[in-house]
Structure 1
């Protein structure tokens, strides 16, 4: 079966024991907007561009695989460096310095308060061989 659909990424859903802290983190550091918190479940819906971020209230902490992560892309390396410095300044748990692995663009990794790994990157300094748009 060879079906072709036009899909767009719709949402991410993360379980967390502290919805309020996690929601504020996404709002303050990644520019998400808190749309509402469901008083019955404690779950929250945030918006980031055309993507929903759902934070699901849990009683017990959820263990994350160390390599599971989500990523945000910035336009320039200068912005990546600046955000890295700002997150470091305010005490966000960062796992790496800014680096450019095999020419794929500058990036760094950190963790949300709930333990989910995030990546911040840019394609500005990416080697052309990695550019999917040029293949």
Structure 2
């Protein structure tokens, strides 16, 4: 039996000096729901679909490697474009425009208020050579 095939992603945990701002960002722009804030630690638990997002309260700013990121996937390029425009209007720090990387699907990158890089993508316009389901 391959145990790894039974695993599913449970949570992502991000340290941040401003849990409230980061939580509101995930709620407003990514549709996460704030479940609770731990009064003792100041950390927060958010839900996004079946996944948890944990925001760990820190006293000092955490330096992120410039390429570390998490990604959310949409079904269509139209949805990617729409969220890009929405985030742009909201003044979110966007690092790229929407582009198709080597035929692997359209995407863009930005940063949360705490400096974590995110990627928003679709595979709708991915070239078939990149589709693992077709190999």
TM-score by length of 2: 0.97
Cα separation, 2, equivalents of 1:118 and 1:32: 14
Offset from partner CA, 1:26-72 (integer Å, 9 cap, x none): 00000000000000000000000111000000000000000000000
Equivalent position of 2:20 in the other structure: 20
Q: How does 1:1-135 map to 2 (within 5 A)?
A: 4-5=2-3, 6-135=6-135
Cα separation, 2, equivalents of 1:101 and 1:42: 38
Instruction: In structure 1, list runs of 5 or more residues that go unmatched.
Output: none
Offset from partner CA, 1:58-98 (integer Å, 9 cap, x none): 00000000000000001100010110011000100000000
Instruction: In structure 2, list runs of 5 or more residues that go unmatched.
Output: none
Offset from partner CA, 1:80-118 (integer Å, 9 cap, x none): 011001100010000000000110000000000000000
- Please give the secondary structure, in 1, of the residue aligned with 2:102: helix
How much does 1:134 deviate? 1.3
Q: Which runs of structure 1 show a deviation greater than 6 angstroms over 4 or more consecutive aligned residues?
A: none
Cα separation, 2, equivalents of 1:134 and 1:47: 32
How much does 1:15 deviate? 0.1
